[in-house]
Amino acid sequence: MSKSQSSHTRITVVVVAAALVIALAFVSAFVWPGWALSKSTTVHQSTEPKSTSEPTTPSIKAKDLSSDASELLKAMPDSVLNFARTEAVPSADWTGASPIEEYTVTYSTGDDAKNITLVVGQWSSKDSAKQQFDALTGNMKGAELGSGNVKVSGNTTGSYLVKSDDSDAGKAIAVWQNDTVVFQAKGAKAALERFYQKFPL
């Protein structure tokens, strides 16, 4: 064998050996045991989520009601979770539906962006209140976030419907009827979903 042929043979052996090593490394990395495969999904799943808990008591004082406040207005809670009542005034939003009385009540955490505006009205009969509930919910066009029956002591006293605000995706509207009283709450979606679920009436 000539010197040039011997050199060529050695080069061929080296190339083949190198190719074999690369092939084995590839199999080892991606087929078995798979050490080169990404494990990021598993890592992310095992990472503890950040705390998103909100305060359950208000950091601001509720505004006192006037001494001549009606029984309906007095029934409005001073606070709901960390939302405190900051305003309560007569309202005329539903005058056309002839409520006995109607008010707009504002609840706040101290952050105006999270304020909840609650309109509450009372009718002389449950049927009249139901008509107002149907009229309000019939005009809600956003995506549904929740619905069901309102129950008091195990008895169904009305219904509720919650939808996103079709004019502002970051906000939502909740409407519910409890016997002769109808409520409509509006506010930032996350704040509203916390508020209406804990509202006592």
Instruction: Give me the domain span that covers residue 189.
Output: 71-198
**Start-to-end CA span in the chain (Å):** 102
Query: Mean pLDDT score of the chain, rounded to an integer?
Result: 83
Is residue 125 domain-shared with residue 87, that is, in the same domain? yes
Spatial separation of the C-alpha atoms in residues 30 and 37, rounded to whole Å: 6
Count each helix (H run) and each strand (E run) in the chain, helices first.
5, 8
Residues facing residue 5 across a β-bridge: none
Is residue 42 domain-shared with residue 86, that is, in the same domain? no
The answer to whether residue 80 is domain-embedded is yes
Give the pLDDT score at 11.
Answer: 52
Pairing of strands 79-80, 83-90: antiparallel
Give the pLDDT score at 135.
Answer: 98
Alpha-carbon torsion, ordered 48, 49, 52, 56, to 10 deg = -30
Q: What is the pLDDT of residues 71-123, one digit of tens each?
A: 999 999 999 999 999 999 999 999 999 999 999 999 999 999 999 999 999 99
Is residue 31 domain-shared with residue 88, that is, in the same domain? no
Kindly tell me if the per-residue pLDDT of 38 is higher than 60.
Answer: no
Q: Which of 115, 86, 117, 116 is nearest to 104 (CA)?
A: 117
Spatial separation of the C-alpha atoms in residues 41 and 6, rounded to whole Å: 52
Confidence of residue 52 (pLDDT cuts 50, 70, 90): low
Which pTM was predicted?
0.74
Spatial separation of the C-alpha atoms in residues 64 and 58, rounded to whole Å: 15
Is residue 186 domain-shared with residue 93, that is, in the same domain? yes
Q: What is the pLDDT of residues 116-132, one digit of tens each?
A: 999 999 999 999 999 99
Give the pLDDT score at 15.
Answer: 46
Kindly tell me if the per-residue pLDDT of 64 is higher than 90.
Answer: yes
The answer to whether residue 54 is domain-embedded is no
Alpha helices in the chain (DSSP H): 3-30, 40-46, 71-74, 126-138, 189-198
12 or 28, greater pLDDT:
12
Spatial separation of the C-alpha atoms in residues 122 and 139, rounded to whole Å: 20
DSSP state of 96: G
Is residue 93 domain-shared with residue 126, that is, in the same domain? yes
Spatial separation of the C-alpha atoms in residues 45 and 134, rounded to whole Å: 44
